[in-house]
Structure 1
């Protein structure tokens, strides 16, 4: 995957917004194999401004509940990863794919696992100590409701996965209209 500079991304977004060229023609003009990145940059720019196009030097950390909310929204609405990311203020849509994979493979608990080796700083130790206290503050009923919601979400995903595995083409045809976004401008 080619990395593009922030300056280049912004230049293409501005050129697209002038309305003279669509996504495909812009991609051709600048020797890009695909126009998808341009579409993504335009959406990100419209939602977050130029700052959304900037590379992040640090990875953002999201709570397990936030990840579940994102996946639940995606499942409920049929939104693409890109549209969901923009809806939730996530500037990189590629963040969501690993969450979905982890959830499908390991359930809600898999979303709680952080990547890499954890730091043993005092701050990290304190966070580990505080976590059980936060869970203890939840009432028994709240814990049951949360577990119930997680199980309901898991069942929904498994049903969709099974339907897709049994008949991928039929499933995609049936849900095709959900995945097509309407562009206001022509793509040529």
Structure 2
């Protein structure tokens, strides 16, 4: 849900365009936490018009390749998320920040996952209740094996995170190639 209505954003943008007040003054006047939101609204309005300030449909989907291209563009050029969004025609720049977080945490696989929860079928509900019963009946050895596997996964995750932090561009390039080769296999 948007914190500010379209009408409010439009009013603030038009007030800015009158030239009497700057970003900071407008933020203070209207009780907006920082000037960056107003700056973003003005840039979006200038690029997309009033349509850019409208609330977004939550079912809007972006391809993994587009997300990777945008993240790579930001890294390569040092652009802000707002500048990158304007460059690629996205009217909701903060979504790029969430892509960054997901990519850092889960890599390309995280960007491929659809956002939100999938509906649970009756079969899944039964499987879930069986799983909790099985968890209670696990032996000490099985619990240790499971914990061991979780620790292995955590170590792998930390290795990937460190590799990304040391060479983000190389990491992006390596995983972009892996994504392309996987998508070619799936299409055959």
Aligned position for 1:60: 60
Gaps of 5+ in 1: 121-153, 162-188
TM-score normalized by the length of structure 1? 0.60
Aligned position for 2:79: 79
Query: What's the CA shift for 1:102?
Result: 1.9
Query: What's the CA shift for 1:160?
Result: 5.2
Aligned position for 1:167: none
What is the alpha-carbon distance in structure 2 between the residues aligned to residue 41 and residue 29 of structure 1?
16
Q: Deviations over 1:91-149 (max 9, x none)?
A: 111111221122222222221111234479xxxxxxxxxxxxxxxxxxxxxxxxxxxxx
Aligned position for 2:143: none
What is the alpha-carbon distance in structure 1 between the residues aligned to residue 9 and residue 100 of structure 2?
28
Aligned position for 1:22: 22
Spell out the pairing of 1:140-159 with structure 2 (5 A cutoff).
157-159=164-166
TM-score normalized by the length of structure 2? 0.60
Looking at secondary structure, tell me which structure has more helix per residue: 2
What is the alpha-carbon distance in structure 1 between the residues aligned to residue 57 and residue 26 of structure 2?
28
Question: Does the 8 A contact of 2:2 with 2:55 survive in 1?
Answer: no
Q: Deviations over 1:139-178 (max 9, x none)?
A: xxxxxxxxxxxxxxx99843257xxxxxxxxxxxxxxxxx
Which of these two proteins has the greater Rg computed from alpha carbons? 2
Q: Secondary structure at the match of 2:84?
A: helix
Higher relative contact order (CA 8 A, sep 6+): 1
Aligned position for 1:130: none
The ranges of structure 1 where at least 4 consecutive aligned residues each deviate by more than 4 angstroms after the TM superposition are: 154-157
Change in CA separation of 1:26 and 1:117 when aligned onto 2, cut-off 3 Å: closer
Q: Secondary structure at the match of 1:72?
A: helix
